[in-house]
A and B are shown apart, each in its own frame.
Chain A
Amino acid sequence: MAEITIKDIIKEENLVYKKSKVLTNNTMSYCPGCGHGTAHRLIAEVIEEMDIQSQTVGVCPVGCSVLMYNFLDLDMQQAAHGRAPALATAIKRLMPEKFVFTYQGDGDLAAIGTAETIHACNRGENITIIFVNNGIYGMTGGQMAPTTLKGMPASTCPYGRDIEMMGNPLKMTELVAQLAGTYYVTRQSVHSPVNVRRAKKAIRQAFENQKLKRGVSFVEIVSNCNSGWKLPPVKANEWMVENMFPFYPLGDIKVEGQLVTK
C-alpha cells in the first residue's frame, strides 16, 4: 500500500470543519478564550445552514460585542445600551418575513435594558434574543453586573458581591420564561464540544421558531470573561462550571410555550 501523505489528506472532500460564510474575514476583537467568538460562529453557522443570510437583520448591543457587525456578514444595527429589543421589535413588525435577532450581554439585557427585554418578551415579539451572561461588565473593565454571583469579586465589588449592600444576582432567563410572550427559553454554554453542539441546536431552534410566529425565543449562553475574572482561559471555564452553573443551571426552561418541569 502506498504511503498516505499530508497532501492526500488536505482535500476539499475531507473537510469536516471550516469557517462559516456568514463570518467575515475580520480578526475578532475578543480576548483569547472568550466565549463570544464561539457564540458568533454558531449564529453564523445556523444562518448559513438555514440559508437566510439575505433575510436576516441583527442587532448588536453596547458591550464587548458592540463590534459584532464587523464579524458577521449580515445587515446589522448597533443599538444604544440595553435597547436592542426595542429596535428588534420595530424591525420585525415592519418586516415580519425577516429573521431578526438581538445579541446582548448581561449588563445590556439584565440591567440597563431590563424594561425593553421584559416588554419585548411580554408582547411576544417574534424575535430571537441571544443573551450572553458572563456575570461581569467585560468591556468597561470588569465591573459588577446584575448577574455577578454572591461573593464574586469585580472592580466595583472588589471584596466580592455583598448581597445586603448590592442586592441579589438576577436570573433574567427564569424571569422571562414566566411571561406569556416567550415561546422558547433555554440556557446553554459553549465551553466544551458537547455544549457547543447543544448551544447550536438551541440557536437553530430559536431561529426556526420565528417561522411559527409564537413569540420570543430566548437563548442564554453562560459564558466566561477571562480578563474580567482575572483567570487564564482554562481556569476560567473550570471556575464557570463550578460557580456559575450551580446558580445558572443549563437546560431548557420553556419549550413550545410550556415551562419545563424538572
Chain B
Amino acid sequence: MEKELRLMKGNEAVAEAAIRSGADAYFGYPITPQSEVIEYLMAQEPHKRTGMVVLQAESEVAAINMIYGAAACGKMAMTSSSSPGISLKQEGISYIAGAELPCLIMNCVRGGPGLGTIQPAQSDYFQSTKGGGHGDYRLVVLAPASVQEMYDFVEIGFDLSFKYRNPVMILADGIIGQMMEKVEIGPQKERRTMEQLIKQCPWATVGKPATRERNIITSLDLVASRQEAFNLKLVKKYEEIKEKEVRFELINCDDAEYIIVAYGSSARLSMKAMDLLRAKGIKTGIVRPITLFPFPSKVLFDLADRVKGFLTVEMSTGQMVEDVRLAVQFKKPVEHYGRVGGVIPSPEEIVNALEQKIIGG
C-alpha cells in the first residue's frame, strides 16, 4: 500500500494521530501555541469520522477533569495545552495518577514562569518528569523531535498509558508544535467496542452488572498504612517502567569524545552544531533522550567511561542537566547551555558553549 504523506504542523499531526489511533475523546481549552490541536479536531468533525467526542471545556481544570471522567470509564482520552494551562491541569493529573487511569496529555511548552511568552521553551522539564502536581507520582514523558514523532507518539503514548494505567505526557515545545514537516500517516484504527473496552479495562466504571462487584475509581484512602502500600505499589510500577520503557537515540556516539545531550527541538539544533564541530575535527556525538521519564541514565553512565565531557542543550536555565549529572555521577564534566524566555539557541552558540565550557573548561 502506498504511504500516505502529508505536510502538517506538529499540533495538527497530534490531532490527526488522535483520530487515527481510535481515541474516544479529546477535551481541551485554547492556548497559544497549541490551539491548532482543537481547531483541527473541530474542523475534522471526528464524531462523524469515528464517533470520537471533542469538546472545548470552560477551563484547563475542567478539561483535565473531563479526561478523568472519560479515563475512569476506560475510554482513550486526550488533552493538550501549553505551559500555563498545564500548570492548571496539575491537580487533575495528580488525581489521574493517584487513581491509576490511562490518558494522554500533550504540552506544547512556551516560556515562563507566569504568563511568560508564547515563544518556544523547554522550561517545563522538572514539572513533567518529577511529578508536577502534589504527591509522589510520575508521568511517562515522551519528547518528540519532529512532526513525525508528534504523530507517532500519540499511539505509543496511548499504548503505554493503558499498559501501565498511568498518564503519559508528550512534552513538545512551540517549535515542534508550530513547524510544518512531512508526515507519514498511519491507517485509521477502529475505536474499541464496549465489549473490547470491558475486556481491556475490567476496572472501568461503565455501570455495574449483577455479575460483578462495583467498580470504584478513587485516589482516596484514609488508612495511612494502606495509602503507604499504594504509594509503594506506584513505585514498583515506575521501577518497571524504568526497566522496560527507556527510549533514546544515539547519533555519532561511537567515536565521540564529546557528547551533547539534548531532547526535542534542542536535539534538532544540536545536529547542526555537531556537524560544525566535526568539521573542525572535534568528535562530537548526541544522546537524544526520547523518554524523559524514564530517563536514559544507563547509556550516559556507560558513555562517561570513554568520552571527555557532556554538554546539555536545553531551552531552559538548566533542568535536564541535573538528571545528566546524576547519571554521569561525576565521572566526567557535565555543563549546561541554554537560551530561555522564547529565545532559540543557534548552532554556533552551541559550538562555542562546548568549546568554552567543556573543551576549554
What is A's interface to B at a CB cutoff of 8 Å? 53-57, 59, 66-67, 69, 72-80, 83, 86-91, 93-95, 98, 115-116, 118-119
Sorted nearest first, the 7 A-B pairs with minimum C-beta distance are A87-B69, A90-B69, A78-B218, A86-B65, A75-B205, A83-B65, A119-B58
Q: Once the chains bind, are A94 and B218 in contact (CB under 8 Å)?
A: no
Q: Once the chains bind, are B216 and A69 in contact (CB under 8 Å)?
A: yes
**What residues of A have a CB within 8 angstroms of the CB of B91 in the complex?**
80
Q: Once the chains bind, are A116 and B58 in contact (CB under 8 Å)?
A: yes
Specify which of A54, A56, A73, A116 is in contact with B65 (CB 8 Å cutoff).
A116
Q: Once the chains bind, are B70 and A91 in contact (CB under 8 Å)?
A: yes
**What residues of B have a CB within 8 angstroms of the CB of A98 in the complex?**
206-207
- Residue-wise interface mask of B (89-114) relative to A, using a CB-CB cutoff of 8 A (1 in contact, 0 not): 00110010001000000000000000
* Interface residue? B214 (CB, 8 A): yes
* Interface residue? B67 (CB, 8 A): yes
Q: List 17 A-B contacts (CB under 8 A).
A: A53-B207, A69-B218, A75-B214, A76-B205, A78-B99, A87-B65, A90-B53, A90-B69, A90-B75, A93-B25, A93-B53, A94-B73, A95-B73, A115-B58, A115-B62, A116-B65, A118-B58
Q: Which of B33-88 contact A (CB under 8 A)?
A: 53, 55, 57-59, 61-63, 65-70, 72-73, 75, 77
Q: Once the chains bind, are B67 and A90 in contact (CB under 8 Å)?
A: yes
* Bound-complex Cα distance A59 to B217 (A): 9
Q: Once the chains bind, are B205 and A57 in contact (CB under 8 Å)?
A: yes
* Bound-complex Cα distance A93 to B69 (A): 10
**What residues of A have a CB within 8 angstroms of the CB of B58 in the complex?**
115-116, 118-119
Q: Which chain A residue lies CB-closest to B94?
A: A80
Q: Once the chains bind, are A78 and B219 in contact (CB under 8 Å)?
A: yes
* Bound-complex Cα distance A76 to B207 (A): 8
What is B's interface to A at a CB cutoff of 8 Å? 24-25, 27, 53, 55, 57-59, 61-63, 65-70, 72-73, 75, 77, 91-92, 95, 99, 205-210, 214-220
**What residues of A have a CB within 8 angstroms of the CB of B53 in the complex?**
90, 93-94
Q: Once the chains bind, are B62 and A116 in contact (CB under 8 Å)?
A: yes
Q: Once the chains bind, are A75 and B92 in contact (CB under 8 Å)?
A: no
Specify which of B27, B59, B209, B218 is in contact with A90 (CB 8 Å cutoff).
B27
Shortest CB–CB separation between residue A192 and chain B, in angstroms? 31
Shortest CB–CB separation between residue B42 and chain A, in angstroms? 15
Count chain A CB atoms within 10 A of each CB in B55, B62, B70, B75 and give the residue with the most.
Answer: B62
* Bound-complex Cα distance A80 to B133 (A): 13
Q: Once the chains bind, are B92 and A83 in contact (CB under 8 Å)?
A: yes
Shortest CB–CB separation between residue A122 and chain B, in angstroms? 9
**What residues of A have a CB within 8 angstroms of the CB of B218 in the complex?**
69, 77-78
Shortest CB–CB separation between residue B150 and chain A, in angstroms? 24
Q: Say yes or no: A76-B216 contact (C-beta < 8 A), given A90-B66, A98-B207.
A: yes
Q: Which chain B residue lies CB-closest to A60?
A: B218
Apart from the given pairs A76-B216, A90-B27, 5 other A-B contacts in the complex at a CB distance below 8 Å: A53-B210, A75-B208, A89-B55, A90-B67, A94-B73
Shortest CB–CB separation between residue A105 and chain B, in angstroms? 15
Specify which of A56, A89, A118 is in contact with B207 (CB 8 Å cutoff).
A56
Q: Once the chains bind, are A79 and B73 in contact (CB under 8 Å)?
A: no
* Bound-complex Cα distance A54 to B290 (A): 43
Specify which of B72, B207, B214, B216 is in contact with A87 (CB 8 Å cutoff).
B72
* Bound-complex Cα distance A98 to B209 (A): 13
**What residues of B have a CB within 8 angstroms of the CB of A87 in the complex?**
65-66, 68-69, 72
Shortest CB–CB separation between residue B229 and chain A, in angstroms? 18
Q: Which chain A residue lies CB-closest to B211?
A: A54
Q: Once the chains bind, are B214 and A73 in contact (CB under 8 Å)?
A: yes
Q: Once the chains bind, are A86 and B62 in contact (CB under 8 Å)?
A: yes
Shortest CB–CB separation between residue A46 and chain B, in angstroms? 15
Shortest CB–CB separation between residue A111 and chain B, in angstroms? 14
Q: Which chain B residue lies CB-closest to A72?
A: B214
**What residues of B have a CB within 8 angstroms of the CB of A95 in the complex?**
73, 206-207
Q: Once the chains bind, are A89 and B73 in contact (CB under 8 Å)?
A: no
* Bound-complex Cα distance A79 to B77 (A): 17
Shortest CB–CB separation between residue A30 and chain B, in angstroms? 15
**What residues of A have a CB within 8 angstroms of the CB of B220 in the complex?**
66-67, 78
Shortest CB–CB separation between residue B18 and chain A, in angstroms? 15
Q: Which chain A residue lies CB-closest to B68?
A: A87
* Bound-complex Cα distance A94 to B282 (A): 56
Shortest CB–CB separation between residue B77 and chain A, in angstroms? 7
**What residues of A have a CB within 8 angstroms of the CB of B209 in the complex?**
54
**What residues of A have a CB within 8 angstroms of the CB of B99 in the complex?**
78
* Bound-complex Cα distance A85 to B61 (A): 12
Q: Once the chains bind, are B69 and A80 in contact (CB under 8 Å)?
A: no
Q: Once the chains bind, are A77 and B217 in contact (CB under 8 Å)?
A: yes
* Bound-complex Cα distance A234 to B350 (A): 76
**What residues of A have a CB within 8 angstroms of the CB of B67 in the complex?**
90
Q: Which chain B residue lies CB-closest to A58?
A: B205
Shortest CB–CB separation between residue B19 and chain A, in angstroms? 15
Q: Once the chains bind, are A89 and B208 in contact (CB under 8 Å)?
A: no
Q: Which chain A residue lies CB-closest to B67?
A: A90
Shortest CB–CB separation between residue B306 and chain A, in angstroms? 49
**What residues of B have a CB within 8 angstroms of the CB of A78 in the complex?**
99, 216-220
Shortest CB–CB separation between residue B25 and chain A, in angstroms? 6
* Bound-complex Cα distance A215 to B349 (A): 58
* Bound-complex Cα distance A77 to B71 (A): 10
* Bound-complex Cα distance A220 to B62 (A): 22
